[in-house]
Amino acid sequence: MKNILLVLAVVVLYVLHQDIWFWRSARLVFGFIPIGLFYQGCFSVAAALLMWLLVTYAWPAHLEEEVEEANTGEDRSA
Amino acid sequence: MIPAIVVFLYLAIVLYIGIFAFRRAKGKEEAEDYFLASRSLGPFVFLFSLFGTNMTAFAILGSSGHAFSNGIVTFGLMASSSGLVIPLTIFLIGTRVWALGKKHGFMTPVQMFRDRWECSHIGTTIFVVQAVLLVPYIIIGIMGGGTTLYTISDGAVPFWFGGAIVAMVVMSYVFFGGMRGTAWVNTFQTVLFLCFGAIALIVIGVGMGGFRSAANAIQNSPMASLLTRERISPYYFFSYTFIPLSAIAFPHILIFCLTARKMAQFKKTVIFYPLCILAIWLPCVFLGVMANRVTDIPEIRQKQEARRVLATQGKNMAPEQRDELREKSAGDDVIMVLLKHYAPLWLAGLLGAGIMAAVMASDSQILALSTMFTEDVFAFYGGKTRFGEHVQVQTGRIFIILITLFAYIVALRAPETIFELAIQYAFSGYAALSPLLIAALFWKGSTKWGALAVTLWTAITVIAVAVLQSVVPAPAPGPATVLWAPGGVEVLSRTPGGTAVFGFMPVVPMVIGSALLMIFVSLATRKPASTTLAKYFGGR
């Protein structure tokens, strides 16, 4: 279930990147940042948050364990 | 001349870092130490050097130039899409490649492919395609260095001499320092990039009398579309999200993934990557757009005039005239022009050093090519067994000298635009090679014949797009030239910026074609032995 939610979050963020809703808007946020640029800036922060979720909840720890096991095996045989 | 002196000082620091790394290696002549820094990079160096390796001259010069002509769309097109796709591929692919490298001692992607698919010459084919797509980067890095030194010194340092200095410095620290020196230099350069963006933003903002008035002026002018994404089609925007798939398929990035001491080092890189992109690209794109409001700098006015003439009279001009106007309207030097105008001399030098750091990102590609040559060709065809590891490292060093010399000679003779185009094709080419990695790591059923089909498809499509774009000249800004429309469906068009297939950039059919070829050819051919599959997938 956790993995499905994370995959869904990746897909949603990918769709949100297309940002067709501000395509033709030249409105300024805080009086100087174009809204389309502000949105994509916020999108980058959201991408960092998504990466944090992936690293926290879907980290492939088994790969590290496999490497450690392989290294321990090599040490023993040496 | 002061900015040029600051830049020379910067080059001396970079050289020192490389030589210091050489001394740190304490005369070790092991291939793994020279080419992979003994797989020992810590979290800080790993994050900044991996990020710096990916940031070429395009990040600073190209992004602001593209934004100057196309508006804020540049950020969504190239930066935020990379901020999602690149860390995702590092998370999914980079970590797995790291683990396999640690377990089985791989130093290049081709070594892994040869082992995974039980092949030899198909691996060599992949090596050739990867190498050919990588060489233009090295050439453009030297060209960028020569041009930057020429501009910063107001012509006192000629292009040939500036290019030679940059080539010598890069060659020296890669030659002596290997991966350790390259990683340290990249870390130093990335810190400079980050400082560069912030300082440039403040200095130029103050010089322009504040961004609020500049943004309002653009909003109320005929250039208001620069604050939107009107100048790019949604199909083109969507297509661009395929381009960052190339990052993980670049050999220098994948080889870099093998240098981490622990897998935990990937965590910070994956999380902070989108924020680093934000910190560098947002100021550059914003400044590129705002430069359109600067009316007191003649160079910028000339670019705007060339753009206007191209848009209004381009249709009636010869292709060569259009190309000339395109070159005149290009904004790649717009940040340099703004800095020269608004920053004090000493600061312009410091910021010039930041730009220099960007154009010198070819170090990792040189080292990657050397690693690939010595491992995938020299060692694979018996050189290491016959002559030993010490000779292998020395061969790698000689290769570095030869490839830098070759790149320098070509940089002096060929026009820059050729290699800029080649880099465009290379991005699409590497994106089309990404199914190789996904199939090798996640699909038991993939075969060497599927890998060969993907590699040949990539080579053929890259050549086809290059030939098409050289035979059919780019039309004037506006509607594309339709080349093939069976039954009224526009299949193939030549656009002002390149080629379109069903309205998408060529990278979309290239990646989809690669994926389909991998699937169908693999299904029709024999899988590797079960012992090989067990090595990669365990009991799964």
In tens, the pLDDT along A24-74 reads 999 999 999 999 999 999 999 999 999 999 999 999 999 988 888 887 766
Query: Residues B393, B133: contact at Cβ < 8 Å?
Result: no
ipTM, two decimals = 0.94
Confidence (pLDDT) at B91: 97
What is the distance of C-alpha B265 from the center of its chain? 23
Interval B410-415 mean pLDDT: 80
Confidence (pLDDT) at B441: 97
Assess whether pLDDT exceeds 60 at residue A5: yes
- Any idea which residue has 């990937």 for tokens? B266
Chains A, B: CB contacts within 8 A come to: 133
Confidence (pLDDT) at B25: 66
Interval B344-364 mean pLDDT: 73
- Residue with the larger pLDDT of the pair B474 and B462: B462
Query: Residues B243, B54: contact at Cβ < 8 Å?
Result: no
Q: Print the SS3 string covering B512-536.
A: HHHHHHHHHHHHHCCCCCHHHHHHH
Query: B209-229: per-residue pLDDT in tens?
Result: 888 988 999 999 988 999 999
Confidence (pLDDT) at B94: 96
pTM assigned to the model: 0.92
- Name residues 31-60 of chain A within 8 A of B (Cβ): 31-34, 36-37, 40-41, 43-45, 47-48, 50-52, 54-55, 59-60
Interval B246-275 mean pLDDT: 94
- Residue with the larger pLDDT of the pair B538 and B238: B238
Assess whether pLDDT exceeds 70 at residue B421: no
Confidence (pLDDT) at B392: 87
- Any idea which residue has 């022009």 for tokens? B337
Interface touch A18/B238, C-beta < 8 Å: yes
Q: How far is A66 from chain B (nearest CA, A)?
A: 8
Gap between the Cα atoms of B116 and B118, Å rounded: 6
Query: Residues B363, B170: contact at Cβ < 8 Å?
Result: yes
Query: B509-523: per-residue pLDDT in tens?
Result: 999 999 999 999 999
Percentage of the residues of chain B whose pLDDT score is greater than 90? 44
Residues in chain A: 78
Interface touch A48/B88, C-beta < 8 Å: no
Q: How confident is the model at residue B57 (pLDDT cuts 50, 70, 90)?
A: low
Gap between the Cα atoms of B424 and B121, Å rounded: 28
Query: Which of B63, B73, B75, B218 to substitute to test the interface with A, most A CBs within 10 Å?
Result: B75
Q: How confident is the model at residue B244 (pLDDT cuts 50, 70, 90)?
A: very high
Confidence (pLDDT) at B28: 59
Q: Which of B140, B161, B158, B169 is nearest to B353 (CA)?
A: B169
Q: How confident is the model at residue B416 (pLDDT cuts 50, 70, 90)?
A: low
Confidence (pLDDT) at B162: 86
Long-range own/partner contacts, residues B110-114 (CB < 8 A, 24 or more apart)? B110/B372, B110/B375, B110/B376, B111/B375, B111/B376, B111/B380, B112/B440, B113/B436, B113/B440, B113/B451, B114/B380
